[in-house]
Amino acid sequence: MNTSEALAAALARHGIDTMFSQCFPVRTQHVAPKYGIRQIGFRTENAGGAMADGFSRISGRISVLAGQSGPAATLLVPPLCEAIKASIPILALVEEYPVADADRNVFQEFDHFALFSSCSKWTRRVTEPERLDDYIDMAIVQATSGRPGPVVLLLPSDFMGEDAVPSPHRTAKLGHFPLDRVVPAQDRLADAIELLKGAKRPLIVAGGGVHLSNACAEMAALAELGAIPVCTTNHGKGAIDERYALSLGVFGNCMGKGSKAMHLRDYAERADLVLLVGTRTAANGTANWTLFPRDARFIHIDIDGIEIGRNYEALRLLGDAKATLAALLDGLSESDFPDRAERLAKVSRDNTEAQAQSAAVLDEIGPGRQGAVRPEHLMRVLDPLLCEHDIVCADASYATNWVGTFLNGRCHGARFLTPRGIAGLGWGMPMAMGAKLARPEANVFALVGDGGFAHNWSELETARRIGIPIVVIVLNNEILAYQQHGEEWFMHHHSDASDLGPVDHAAIARACGCFGERVASPEEFAPALQRALDSGLPAVVDVMTDPDAHAPLSHYLFRPEPPAPVAGS
């Protein structure tokens, strides 16, 4: 056995059965099927990385992403940037030039340590066959323990042909996450319990860490126990059943016109205790840090100590969300919350009212017209079709907000994937492909703008070739709306760089052997969506949407004055 095969054996030991790769590491790929590992041959490394990300988010296992050195390695950087910010464990394998030729300007030589320094938790080059298993295990532990994230192993091509040296003492299976479920110290938990018992207007804020820790059931149980309302960030969306009385919806930068959350903002602004769970309290999730009152008390559960207190000084509960919430539940099980019934009644009432106000706005907006379908209408058609375990992915841009605001998760732990680590355009569709591979029995939808979709059209061919039947809904408004609307709103002017030419995305899909249908008027959407689902193929429904449709972003509630003219102009 050579080291290439030993690598496949080690990955299989950790439960890895899927590898996102375009042929590399080449000798490993040749033997991978013998170890039960399937290769997902993407068109671009960039998209392959987003597939690996979606796969990891849904499977709860580390995903493996591989590429060649130099140009291929550079294309791995964007998805690893997303993964490091969103805390997604990915093992990236880069097959390098021969180490014997390092520093001679060998073909495609590049300083990979420098390249990955911003987006990898841990990067190492493996050169000794007897250390291969050590490095695989260390890499996986680095990725799946503590705050999860991407890691990189550099594998020189001469090393990959050497004789393997088996490591009989490496037998552990470490490929799932969170690897270790640590809990905070007892005294901190006791303090948190006292704060929760004494709070008059408590609020839970659920971030993406609640999903990553698989802590949704515990979080919902805590909410239920104390009748504590829950809002989520974009990444945390679905952590609590969104049709539930205590679910306030996605809070942050998307509490604008038509949103239910707009009418429930008081629950954040008047909270006396905020329990932050698995959130990095980023700008979008906190409406630029304006949501919560400074004099509220904060408790913050997070696996990464640096996120606790970053923006809100808090009682520090450093630990795994699921285990920590379970410990809090344990400590609170005997408590009665005297305000519980009253709080539940109030939040139910307010929630119902807010829902009705949101529905009234959507009724007023209507479904749109020929050639200008409203995205809100698409969400109204899609929402009732969703089953508990279905997955909706959205690209960056408005797509995230249409999904975040107008779709409802139907269980504690419903999944909505958005690339909000760094919000890169184009990643929604390949992320959906990874999600579908991880949960083939679910319907997986991707909502993407026409600008973002153009980054990754080519992966339709991958989806067809490999057999990944996702349904892509394209918001074809022929502009980069988020950009253009933003320029207009704040500067009262936009440049022509955000105007796009007409593209027939359905024809692109058909050219790749996928299902493709153009929708030009509102009533055509529901039947087209059904035909897309029934086709059993990767499908594109290309909807001509209204270029004037503004997503429910909070900043559209107040328009600033036009900038003052420059003196002398």
Ligand X SMILES: Cc1ncc(C[n+]2csc(CCOP(=O)(O)OP(=O)(O)O)c2C)c(N)n1
CB-nearer residue toward ligand X: 400 or 408:
400
Tokens coding 214: 């698989």
Interacting residues toward ligand X by CB under 6 A: 396-399, 423-425, 449-452, 475, 477, 479-483
Closest contact distance (angstroms) between CB of 74 and ligand X is 15
Is 350 near Mg ion (CB under 5 A)? no
Residue 425 interacting entry, from Mg ion, ligand X, none, C-beta within 5 to 8 Å by type: ligand X
**DSSP per residue, 494-559:** --GGGB-----HHHHHHHTTSEEEEE-SGGGHHHHHHHHHHH-S-EEEEEEB-TTPPP--GGGGSP
Among 46, 477, 484, 554, binds Mg ion (CB under 5 A): 477
CA distance linking residue 286 with residue 265, whole number of Å: 11
The residue whose Cβ lies closest to ligand X is: 449
Closest contact distance (angstroms) between CB of 424 and ligand X is 4
Residue 515 interacting entry, from ligand X, Mg ion, none, C-beta within 5 to 8 Å by type: none
Residue 308 interacting entry, from ligand X, Mg ion, none, C-beta within 5 to 8 Å by type: none
How many other C-beta atoms are found inside a 10 Å radius of the C-beta of residue 482? 23
CA distance linking residue 540 with residue 173, whole number of Å: 39
Residue 213 interacting entry, from ligand X, Mg ion, none, C-beta within 5 to 8 Å by type: none
Residue 483 interacting entry, from ligand X, Mg ion, none, C-beta within 5 to 8 Å by type: ligand X
Using only C-alpha atoms, the chain has a radius of gyration, in whole angstroms, of 24
Is 424 near Mg ion (CB under 5 A)? no
Q: Which stretch binds Mg ion (CB under 5 A): 165-173, 277-285, 405-413, 474-482?
A: 474-482
Is 428 near Mg ion (CB under 5 A)? no
Closest contact distance (angstroms) between CB of 307 and ligand X is 23
Closest contact distance (angstroms) between CB of 377 and ligand X is 15
Residue 406 interacting entry, from Mg ion, ligand X, none, C-beta within 5 to 8 Å by type: none
CA distance linking residue 424 with residue 161, whole number of Å: 37
Closest contact distance (angstroms) between CB of 479 and Mg ion is 5
CB-nearer residue toward ligand X: 78 or 236:
78
Please report, for residues 73, 298, 474, 507, the alpha-carbon distance to residue 519 in angstroms, rounded to integers and kept in the order given: 38, 48, 10, 12
Closest contact distance (angstroms) between CB of 430 and ligand X is 13
Closest contact distance (angstroms) between CB of 81 and ligand X is 10
Closest contact distance (angstroms) between CB of 146 and ligand X is 28
Tokens coding 269: 């602004």
**Backbone phi and psi for residue 382, each to the nearest 5 degrees, phi listed first:** -70, -40
Residue 424 interacting entry, from Mg ion, ligand X, none, C-beta within 5 to 8 Å by type: ligand X
> Do 66 and 39 form a contact (C-beta atoms < 8 A)?
no
Question: b/e map of 225-262 (b: 16 or more CB within 10 Å)?
Answer: bbbbbbbbbbbbbbbbbbebbbbbbbbbbbbbebbbbb
CB-nearer residue toward ligand X: 2 or 483:
483
Among 451, 469, 522, 552, binds Mg ion (CB under 5 A): 451
Residue type, 145: S
CB-nearer residue toward ligand X: 218 or 395:
395
Q: What is the DSSP letter of 143?
A: H
Half-sphere exposure at residue 549, Cβ-oriented, CA atoms within 13 angstroms: 30
Is 400 near Mg ion (CB under 5 A)? no
Q: Which stretch binds Mg ion (CB under 5 A): 15-23, 218-226, 359-367, 475-483?
A: 475-483
Closest contact distance (angstroms) between CB of 553 and ligand X is 11
Tokens coding 160: 């990959």
Tokens coding 125: 């080059």
CA distance linking residue 406 with residue 369, whole number of Å: 20
Is 452 near Mg ion (CB under 5 A)? no
Longest dimension (CA), the chain: 79
Residue 452 interacting entry, from ligand X, Mg ion, none, C-beta within 5 to 8 Å by type: ligand X
Residue 354 interacting entry, from ligand X, Mg ion, none, C-beta within 5 to 8 Å by type: none
Q: Cα(first)–Cα(last) distance of the chain, in Å?
A: 75
Task: Report the interface residues with Mg ion, using CB under 5 A.
Answer: 449-451, 477, 481
